[in-house]
A and B are shown apart, each in its own frame.
Chain A
């Protein structure tokens, strides 16, 4: 059991589409499960991000204080941090708020200006984490070891990366199959 690769995936500022695409790996997920131990993931019910993780796939941009705290823990506890999908790699749709201005402008645009009924900005200390000034790609906050672009990355691309990692090699990120954004 201790031979297995300790594998994590996290869902930050994104739509979970990358995780959906991950699930599109279908029966290969069984092969993966043979090789790795899932120590943290939105598809597993684990509360705290564990220590000594080998590989962490990070979906989504860094968009709020929770993400910010978690990403530093992830970096500290993971040997390999992988930016998983366009939001993690570029900020993508999550970062489309950035040109508008900082958090307060964005919130009032979304919850007041664009609402007809009962406009109000949701807030609940300790429950709704405050937004960061800008939504940022992961590598703008902590060093990242590998990037998997795509919105979402096709299952084939995810498999290409993971398979190489399982074999102890660094995946070749070249060509349309592996690199196309969007």
Chain B
């Protein structure tokens, strides 16, 4: 497919859609689907048929619009009705409501189901990565093309050199959204420059590439589902981002590593790959250019450590997901010994809009060092839970109290946890801190992949630390000693504290151990595992002290025994 053909598809799809006066968007993301939203879509379809409105209105299954706590959600977008063009959002929709919704098309909204679209949950957000989630049908490539999909790929293939693409990404200031925030352009540049013959390689038969692009969709943080929503709701954008990355770094083959726990994302990505291949947007000679790029899905199998680059590579190679010391970094020595670019789903989803709208546009959003937006999975003790996308630099207060709607009745805010098991708990005193990589790191947490869990005054912070440490202990691969044995001992000490059996000596041992595991573990899992303990010790130390047993030991001369062991 070339640019003209792409434009033709976009045009005819838009034309077809313009013929309908009403579009009913039903969320079929994992959370709404669990509440039978697919049945609602069928019921709406049936109601349209019954009322003879098929020509007038269309039902579309779309990805997650974000407000999961009010699901199942149905959005009705009307070109023209008594009130002019407008959108309505219906919450907690049931199959029985379908007929009523259809009956009210073009007329008065169904008041009992309506939830305002101008509430802060929506108005305070800024959607780039999620702009298509809730708008396009993730199972139809034409729908994606109609909103400008694959235009960015065509643009780089026909108008830009690989170096120009890398320069554009560099200038945009985009940083990795998987957690550490490494500058994306720098990473691309390193892979592009890397010599595939520097290290001995071992590429399997049948794979024609000496460099690789890996999309990291192994979203392992408990309480995080940003990448899942993007893969489910807008899979083509991920593919487009990968192909652009492949062109920029000189790779002809890409892998998407997805958790097996995300069957819907896997299914939609598979469909998307098939469609893109059929349309000539993946495969050989894309857009009539010499560039070839294929994408394959690899399933994770339940190992958090595989989110770490080198462990992920070991897993794709078919082995135990063990990390290895870096350097050499995957950019030079990666999959089967080849230079490999590993980017997170959200990072790659940012690429097409940057190419289309330009680096300057992207760099105008966010803060000085953190550009663009960040997607968060807002969960825990807030009124509105779900998926949000906000400009970098927004404050935690705005996220929790404006977008999240604050605490449920009668509860007060205690802390917000970001970064999952690798992050930290941020207390109320930092609510007005801007959310960016540096500020979060300064208070002992991390941006992480975007889990944001709000905790109220009833939350036991020692228990929170223990919960995360149990997670890291179970997920430690066991290769290096500090992480394998250290997390076990930290967990043991935290349990001892919880049970009121710990002494001040134990608290000191705990702090020393956290320091050890943080600084001597082989990979990011171990290096960040103590963060939840360190941050709760820092901000909620009195909760630890309240559970500590005062040491009863008194020496013969009546002095308290302070220093022992």
Q: Which of A133-172 contact B (CB under 8 A)?
A: 139, 142-145
- Chain B residues numbered 202-217 whose CB sits less than 8 Å from any CB in chain A: none
**Alpha-carbon gap, A136 to B500, bound state (A):** 19
Contacting residues of chain B (414-464) with chain A, CB-CB under 8 angstroms: none
Per-position 1/0 for B166-180, Cβ under 8 A of A: 000000000000000
B548 to chain A, nearest CB (A): 15
B residues less than 8 Å from A16 (CB atoms): none
- Does B557 lie at the interface of the complex (its beta carbon under 8 Å from any beta carbon of A)? yes
Whether, in the assembled complex, B555 has its beta carbon less than 8 Å from a beta carbon of chain A, the answer is: yes
A157 to B11, CA, bound (A): 90
Q: Is the CB of A143 within 8 A of B553?
A: yes
Q: How many residues of B contact A (CB 8 A)?
A: 10
A79 touches B565 (CB 8 A): no
B111 in contact (CB, < 8 A): no
> Least Cβ distance of A36 to chain B in Å?
16
Q: State how many residues of chain A have any CB contact under 8 Å with chain B.
A: 13
Contacts A143-B564, A143-B565: A53 and B553 contacting too (C-beta < 8 A)?
Answer: no
Residue of B nearest to A143 (CB): B564
Please tell me if the beta carbons of B553 and A142 are within 8 angstroms of each other in the complex: yes
CB–CB A78/B565 < 8 A: no
Residue numbers in A under 8 Å from B553 (CB-CB): 75-76, 142-143
Instruction: Give per-residue flags for B527-565: 1 if the beta carbon is below 8 A from chain A beta carbons, else 0.
Output: 000000000000000000000000101111100010011
Residues of B contacting A79 with CB < 8 Å? Answer: 555-557
Residue of B nearest to A142 (CB): B553
Measured CB to CB, the closest approach of chain B to A178, in angstroms, equals 18
Question: In the complex, which residues of chain A have a beta carbon less than 8 angstroms from the beta carbon of B551?
Answer: 143
Contact of A144 among B555, B556, B565 (CB under 8 A): B565
- List B residues at the A interface (Cβ < 8 Å): 505, 551, 553-557, 561, 564-565
Q: A53-B556, A75-B555, A76-B555 are in contact. List 15 more A-B contacts (CB 8 A).
A: A51-B556, A52-B556, A75-B561, A76-B553, A76-B556, A78-B555, A79-B555, A79-B556, A139-B565, A142-B553, A143-B505, A143-B553, A143-B564, A143-B565, A145-B564
10 A-B contacts (beta carbon < 8 Å)? A51-B556, A52-B556, A75-B553, A76-B553, A77-B556, A143-B505, A143-B551, A143-B564, A143-B565, A144-B565
- Which 8 interchain pairs have the tightest Cβ spacing? A143-B564, A77-B556, A52-B556, A139-B565, A143-B561, A143-B553, A79-B556, A75-B553
